[in-house]
Structure 1
Amino acid sequence: MKLLVTGGAGYVGSTVAARLVAAGHTVVVLDDLSTGHADAVPAGSELVVASLRKGAADVLADGSFDAVLHFAAKSVTGESVARPGYYWDQNLGESLALFDAMRRAGVGRIVFSSTAATYGNPENTPIRETDPTRPVSPYGATKLAIDTALSSYAELHGFGAVSLRYFNVAGAHEGLGERHEPETHLIANVLAVALGHKSEVSLFGTDYPTPDGTCVRDYIHVSDLAEAHLLALNACEPGRHRVYNLGSGSGHSVAEVIEVCRKVTGHPIPVRTCPRRDGDPSVLVASSEKIFRELGWTAERDLLTMVSDAWAFARSLPHPDQT
């Protein structure tokens, strides 16, 4: 198939693009490189540098594409609170421009990188697709709005769409890993201490109602996530919008993640205990029972593998002072 991967120069998008190329597909990456990296775009694919508003219609106009995998988004929760209008414009506005370009070009299949942040503070653990969606940040709200738009496009324009909702992605895939600026993900920040880029890890809250008092979160290896996107691509059905959670079903505490990082790196990784952050739920874990039942996907790689792969990638990067 010929596939358009939006945001394919980012962490998850580039990994999925690499898997698609390896599977024999023709891949075009559309990315404005505002947060992505041109050198992350896999060999064998084509890079078009443009926003969705400016580039999607031109790229899709020849009618040769079979489907779109949509990763392009702004995704820092704190920034979305500070700049909600920007997030609505960039996430929902750009996505609607993409969907309209797809409709005009006759491309009706799309896999969307959504988020379990659409659920907000959950009523149940693990979270299921039937649970209420009440996002607590503009970031989560924009992603939920895109999901809603896809349902409309499926009903009214015959799109075959799949949204994948997940929390924390970790690990690395064949030289592709996390290079966010700023970095907000726990594992990458903990490993930055082991590398000497930071002096300590901030631990926000040790009095949660969890086994060790620290928050529990869901983690998925980026390679497992890529496999889910390939399965979802084949599951796109005209006139239907499917939503799947991707999760471990159990999760890991912040303290547990830090301890695994110590084991992998051999570094003591000092910790500074801080008060709880407002709005941090005790446990955020998603169930992947539905996607296992319908598509056969399950997370195969454990936390030790995620940290080990992320550590190998982090050590391959130049020190910040050398860039």
Structure 2
Amino acid sequence: MSARNVLVVGGAGYIGSHMVDHLVRAGYAVTVLDNLSTGHADAVLNAELVVGDLGEPDTLDRLFTAHTFDAVMHFAALTEVGASVKDPEAYYDNNVAKTLRLLAAMRRHGVERFIFSSTAAVYGDSIPGLIRESDIGSPINPYGWTKRIIEQVLRDYSRSYGLRSVVFRYFNAAGADPEGQLGERHDPETHVIPLLLQAASGRRQTFTIFGDDYPTPDGSCVRDFVHVADLCRAHRLGLERLLRGESGDVFNLGSGVGYSVREVIESTKRVTGRDFAVNSASRRPGDPAYLVADVAKVEQALGWQPAYSLDEMVAHAWRFETDTHGSST
């Protein structure tokens, strides 16, 4: 039997590139579509890279004509909450309109399996406690709404067109390839752990806590972090579910444990053995106080459990930071 063929849209980005490497190691044939606006061509390991945009119907038709894909994975969203508040049009265009064009191309070419990266931002400003998939609320930023809209589109397309999809609601993806080949390379960087590591390595003078007056034990936001390698393993299990002919579903992806920003700072100092300056600033618009996943559903349905701790996420990301940029002493 020939290898299953998967199109990974956004496969040159942080999560997408880890996913491509994971699939290739698992024996899949992988093609990547990425416009390289935020991704990196050299992050695509052992897979074909097609440079193009998911919103270009001609590009999509050429790609789907040249290959027979068993499934499509979508990692090509704009993802920054603050940026979505400042420029919602860009987010609705890329995350909604262009995704609709991708789904239309899949329908034209008879591809009926889809893995979609959603977000915990669909839950809105949740109260403390583990968040279940059924606890859908009202997003408090445009980014969350773009994902919520596509989730509804996928439900409608399943009923009307037979498209089967697995939706993963990420909490906070973190860490790096344990072997050190891949990691976060955003420019500018906005994610907590790489920003902390830049402060630890000397590439950044200080780390800023945005908001120290939230209704949490230490005043800083509480978040659930999941290692990017654990996340990729869950995606492969979701793909295998669809390839077996089973129905789609929606799953949280997190560790089920919440850490405040101050606790992540302490983890970073502990793992790196470095001290660095920390200051506080006002809250950013669109940031909820508390987001922690209930992962019972994905554990039961896919047999998935997170393998890596917060300290391991920090350690793997620290290795990538120091291998890539060095570290001042």
User: Structure 1: any 5+ residue segments left out of the alignment?
Assistant: none
User: Structure 2: any 5+ residue segments left out of the alignment?
Assistant: none
Name the residue aligned to 1:46.
48
CA contact (8 A) 1:63 1:105 kept: no
User: Matches of 1:79 and 1:278 in 2, distance apart?
Assistant: 10
1:308 to 298, 315, 320: 315
**How far apart are residue 133 of structure 1 and its match?**
3.0
Matched, 1:22 2:25: yes
2:290 to 280, 283, 288: 283
**How far apart are residue 274 of structure 1 and its match?**
2.8
The letter for the 2-side match of 1:273 is S
1:146 to 150, 154, 157: 150
User: Matches of 1:104 and 1:147 in 2, distance apart?
Assistant: 20
1:223 to 221, 229, 237: 229
Inter-CA distance 206–138: structure 2 relative to 1 (3 Å threshold): closer
Name the residue aligned to 1:201.
207
Aligned residue-pair number: 319
1:83-162 to 2 correspondences below 5 Å: 83-123=87-127, 125-162=129-166
Q: The residue matched to 2:95 in structure 1 has which SS?
A: helix
Name the residue aligned to 2:279.
272
Name the residue aligned to 1:163.
167
CA contact (8 A) 1:109 1:238 kept: no
User: Matches of 1:215 and 1:263 in 2, distance apart?
Assistant: 20
User: Matches of 1:257 and 1:266 in 2, distance apart?
Assistant: 14
Matched, 1:172 2:181: no
TM-score using structure 2 length: 0.92
In the TM superposition, what whole-angstrom CA distance separates every residue of 1:116-142 from its partner, at most 9, and x where no partner exists? 111111146211110123111111111
The letter for the 1-side match of 2:49 is L
The letter for the 1-side match of 2:279 is R
User: Matches of 1:32 and 1:244 in 2, distance apart?
Assistant: 28
2:187 to 178, 181, 189: 181
Inter-CA distance 276–80: structure 2 relative to 1 (3 Å threshold): closer
CA contact (8 A) 2:125 2:290 kept: no
The letter for the 1-side match of 2:216 is T
The letter for the 2-side match of 1:184 is T
For the aligned residue pairs, the C-alpha RMSD in angstroms reads 1.8
Sequence identity, in percent? 49
Matched, 1:294 2:301: yes
User: Matches of 1:123 and 1:114 in 2, distance apart?
Assistant: 20
